[in-house]
Structure 1
Amino acid sequence: MAFAGPRCLALGGLEAVALKAKAWVDGGETVPVVIYEDATGLPVHPDLRGTHEDVLRRLEARRARAAAASEDAEAPKRNGPGRPKLGVVSREVSLLPRHWEWLNAQPSGASAALRRLVEDAMRSGQGHERARKSHEAAGRFMHAVAGDLPGFEEASRAFYARNPERFEQLTQPWPRDIREHVRRLVAIAARDEAK
């Protein structure tokens, strides 16, 4: 989303929001525009110079670099034991003797048992992780855009205490666009936590 002061200029995907922000800047507006990413609550800074096509081309290149960096981070470059062609990499694990005994007693072996345990933990923790991330994103955004607004401290306390009635009451005097977007992000975080 893009904000110019307390006014929301655009919601949606980064490309559409960046083009709206570009139109704002190119229109000679003096109020600075800031684009925030809903998933993190952090500002993003696309290069808005040039034509619409230039902006979109740079955004696509940025996305490609981020995807390549993510792939590099996920695929460790190590030689040695393991099955590198399958993405299996050997690493050291420190466990207590009773843990090794339990792992070695598993019918499929220690490595398969560890992989199964990790997969189960990842599946069961996805909802909790998503809830944590959306809650952090809402808090970051709220701090960035409303940190100087009246009642922010108390609203922040109500947010972190998960007191929605108090939060609604304390954010009521805030500028409409800021208030509505903060509330939307908080509602997403609450929904993720309820799952």
Structure 2
Amino acid sequence: MNTANPASYTSFDGHRRIAAGSIQANALAVKQARARGAAGPVLVFDDATGRSVDIDTRGSDEDVLARLAEAGAGSAPAETPEPAEARGRGRPKLGVVPREVTLLPRHWEWLAGQPGGASVTLRKLVEEARRAGGEKDRLRQAQERAYHFMLAIAGDLPGFEEATRALFANDEPRFRAQVAGWPADVRDHAARLAFGGAAHAEAGRGSRAPESGVAA
């Protein structure tokens, strides 16, 4: 996760959304909810995975934020530069990392006959495979993050099992029908994680004004 696309989190008090946005905003909202005597379990979800995360809200607001800063929460991990001695002399590697590839003789013969040679052809094949599988990967990730969220917060709600089947069948109309009776904040967040799009986020806003400090 980089600074241009910062990590996003969403917090719930029971079935009511209380915050969305940065981990810092969520941490303070959760701290306030707990101080007021939250009605239900207060959970913070990583929007990238749909899994709940633990936040230590003890102490003052400054203490909470300091712990997050110390842990580097919401920031991009530092990249480890390649050691200078590994680069050697001559032309820069341009990100090329040597690896051993095991192929049958007929594969090497075919590669050797392709324009640009084996390395160029292999790179093209890998990029084509990545593009072809990219949409499937995005679909799988969306289904998994929605499922993790639903399991944690909506596992006992009516229609959960059918909604799960519709989710993994990528059947959005059937999914929406099954979650229609769920609490609005849970229903809308599950749909947004599963299928994305601004319409999902906007669908339930008219039912409840978000609390102060909530980042939509």
* 1:43 match: 52
Q: Counterparts of 1:42-121 in structure 2 under 5 Å?
A: 42-60=51-69, 61-63=71-73, 67-68=77-78, 71=79, 86-121=94-129
Equivalent AA in structure 1 for residue 15 of structure 2: P
Taking the aligned partners of 2:74 and 2:176, their CA distance within structure 1 comes to: 40
* 2:167 match: 159
Return the structure number with greater helix share. Answer: 1
Change (3 A) 1:38 1:75: farther
* 1:150 match: 158
Which of 4, 8, 12 is the aligned partner of 2:21? 12
Taking the aligned partners of 1:117 and 1:94, their CA distance within structure 2 comes to: 16
Matched, 1:187 2:200: no
Identity %: 50
In the alignment of these two chains, the number of paired residues is: 187
Change (3 A) 1:55 1:85: farther
After TM superposition, which residue ranges in structure 1, 4 or more long, deviate above 4 angstroms?
78-81, 83-86
* 2:208 match: none
Change (3 A) 1:98 1:80: farther
Taking the aligned partners of 2:64 and 2:44, their CA distance within structure 1 comes to: 14
Structure 2: give runs of 5+ residues left out of the alignment: 1-9, 200-216
Give the TM-score normalised by the residue count of structure 1. Answer: 0.77
Taking the aligned partners of 1:64 and 1:39, their CA distance within structure 2 comes to: 12
| Cα-to-partner distance string for 1:71-110 (whole Å, 9 max, x where unaligned) | 45x979x9699x9964433222111222211222234332
* 2:7 match: none
RMSD over aligned Cα, in angstroms? 3.3
Match of 1:35, SS state, is strand
Give the TM-score normalised by the residue count of structure 2. Answer: 0.70
Match of 2:18, SS state, is strand
Taking the aligned partners of 2:39 and 2:181, their CA distance within structure 1 comes to: 25
**Higher relative contact order (CA closer than 8 Å, sequence separation 6+):** 2
